[in-house]
Amino acid sequence: MREDHELVSRAVSLQDAAAFGELVRRHQSHVRNFLRKLSGDFTAADDLAQDCFMHAWDKLHTYSGRGSFIGWLLKVAYTTFLQSKRKSKRYAEILEQVGHVTEAESRGYTVQADEVTDLDRFLAVLSEEERAVMVMSYACGLSHREISEATAMPIGTVKSVIFRGKEKIRTNFDIKDHQHG
């Protein structure tokens, strides 16, 4: 089986869509899971995942090979998520200006799954930034350095965000009594 790096160089140098398709097959689950946890909306997350992979295709030549490919991909996913948030915020502002009442801006983390899991409850108490960092760390297994690169935060900030997130979860829940999310 080819390494991610090999597939990336094939996709970039030969414009090989099949090589990129293989990369998508390998990492789609991680990216979609990340975006689902971040947004709480499965349908919107899957749309964002599509946009993310198309952005990744356009920017693939910028992947230097330093660090894992999934780390780089999650960076693209996080940027795509933030861009979409900014767009919907602007849209909400325009709607407000023309007198429409909207919930979109004030909405933080709303779960649209049939069943609300413990993880959903944990994620709901975290800020957007904490959610992204905690999910990257605990769900995707990224190192502090990789999270720092993906979120453009200094490593020290990443550590303090994780500490703060854990503190919030600890204050709000007795995590030892909870089932797996």
Partner 1 sequence: MTSKIINMAERLKDDEDRLLESLFASAPIADDGFSTMIEKRVRRQLWLRRMVLPVAALVGAIISFKPLAGLVTMLAGLTTLIPQDVLKVPSDVVPQLPMLFMGAMLLAMCMLGLRALQE
Binding-site ranges for partner 1 (CB under 8 A): 15, 17-18, 20-21, 24-25, 28-29, 32-33, 36-37, 46, 49-50, 53-54, 57, 118-119, 122, 134-135, 138-139, 141, 143-145, 166, 169-170, 175-176, 178, 180-181
- Taking each helix axis from N to C end, the angle separating 17-39 and 69-97, rounded to the nearest 10 degrees, works out to 60
Phi-psi category of 99—alpha, beta or left, where left has phi over 0 and alpha has psi -120 to 50? left
- Taking each helix axis from N to C end, the angle separating 17-39 and 4-13, rounded to the nearest 10 degrees, works out to 120
Question: Looking at beta carbons only, is 21 or 65 nearer to partner 1?
Answer: 21
Question: Looking at beta carbons only, is 75 or 133 nearer to partner 1?
Answer: 133
Question: Looking at beta carbons only, is 104 or 113 nearer to partner 1?
Answer: 113
Question: Looking at beta carbons only, is 119 or 124 nearer to partner 1?
Answer: 119
Q: How far apart are CA 27 and CA 57, in angstroms?
A: 13
CB of 18 to partner 1, least distance (A): 7
CB of 25 to partner 1, least distance (A): 4
DSSP 104: T
Question: Looking at beta carbons only, is 60 or 75 nearer to partner 1?
Answer: 60
Residue with tokens 């709000």: 172
CB of 104 to partner 1, least distance (A): 26
Let me know: does 34 contact 77? Beta carbons within 8 Å: yes
Indicate the burial class of 118 (C-beta count within 10 angstroms; 0-12, 13-18, 19 or more): middle
CB of 24 to partner 1, least distance (A): 4
Q: How far apart are CA 105 and CA 85, in angstroms?
A: 9
CB of 63 to partner 1, least distance (A): 16
